[in-house]
A = this chain, B = another copy of it.
Amino acid sequence: MDYAMHDLGDLRLQGGATIRGCQMAYKTFGVLNPAKDNVIVYPTWYSAQHYENEWLVGPGMALDPDKYFIIIPNMLGNGLSSSPSTTPEPYNGPRFPHVTATDNVRAQHRLVTETFGIERVRLVVGWSMGALQTFHWGALYPDMVERIAPFCGSAKCSRHNFVFLEGVKAALQADAAFAGGWYRSKPETGLRAMARVYAGWGFSQAFYREELDLKALGYSSLEDFLVAFWEGFFLPKDANNLLAMLWTWQHGDISANELYGGDLRRALGAIKAKAFVMPGQTDLYFPPEDSEFEVAHMPNARLIPIPSIWGHFAGGPGTNPVDVAFIDARLKELLDS
């Protein structure tokens, strides 16, 4: 096991349920310095576990374990932290309660403060749903977070993004083997259908036009890309876990809590952190226009589009080295400022 567990005890959720004996899995890199001022928090993305975040961590990179203490907390529902697949009866499987991004980040805050006694965070950074959690850190703990770098994500799930996810969800649930979440064996047809729906959204029109699936990623045909990359990506994952995280995504909103009462502009305005907001120029479900709105309402934010035709995958998970270099350079700039 290359990670640790933080016992959150009985975690009361925004929605009213309690996850009893809630566990948060996390991995750290580097050493917490005596001043405890070298901390980076780096939440995970949809369906990912901490090791799928590691492409942005390494000696010489912005997230350098020789300089920083980097904490990767696993999102609830991701199969390592408490999830439909790991929770005992009666909250197992499709009965796993709805968890918000606010619930996640408040739990992460407990991990950071209770386990390590950390009071300041130098940077919170994340891709996609990791960006959603990053925005939450900025809005929920404005006096604790010095910098944020959300990339290819948003502070609130847009209506279009919500609809895209409805399609993903419907494809998975159309499989009778899914059985309302009470499947005995993997709903393979639904997972494969979900993967094919996702395929058109993940990369941009230009990515496919330029045949980067073949020329850059080395797949042998478009169908090979759909099977080997996309179906291969979703098949190993638990369907209820995927749906739990999908709910978290769809209902992500930094203002959906008692601090901001649903006022997104006010929540954005409360983020004191210096922010580099980095949308992918051709991201189909987190279009740059949504990031523009966010930056316009944040007091200390800069909009830095990632100039890439890799769509949502401009932001991760290390798929395109050119984009990784771009993001890494911006993070260095932000960390040094």
Contacts and interface: CB of A to CB of B under 8 A. Distances in A.
Interface of A: 158-160, 162-164, 166-177, 189-190, 192-193, 196-201, 203-209, 211, 222, 226, 284-285, 287, 289-290
B222 A289 contact: no
A163 B221 CA distance: 12
Given A170-B192, A174-B189, A175-B176, 17 more contacts: A158-B208, A158-B209, A160-B203, A160-B204, A163-B200, A163-B226, A164-B200, A166-B226, A167-B167, A167-B197, A171-B197, A172-B174, A173-B193, A174-B175, A174-B190, A200-B201, A205-B284
B159 A208 contact: yes
Copies of this chain assembled into the complex: 2
A196 B222 CA distance: 24
A163 B199 contact: yes
A275 B164 CA distance: 34
B166 A199 contact: yes
A80 B172 CA distance: 32
A198 B167 contact: yes
Contacts of A169: 196
Contacts of A189: 173-174, 176
A205 B289 contact: yes
Given A176-B177, A177-B176, A197-B170, A206 B289 contact: yes
A165 to B, nearest CB: 8
A193 B196 CA distance: 13
Contact of A284 (B166, B170, B171, B284): B284
Contacts of A204: 160
B167 A199 contact: yes
Nearest to A293: B209
A287 B164 CA distance: 18
A202 to B, nearest CB: 10
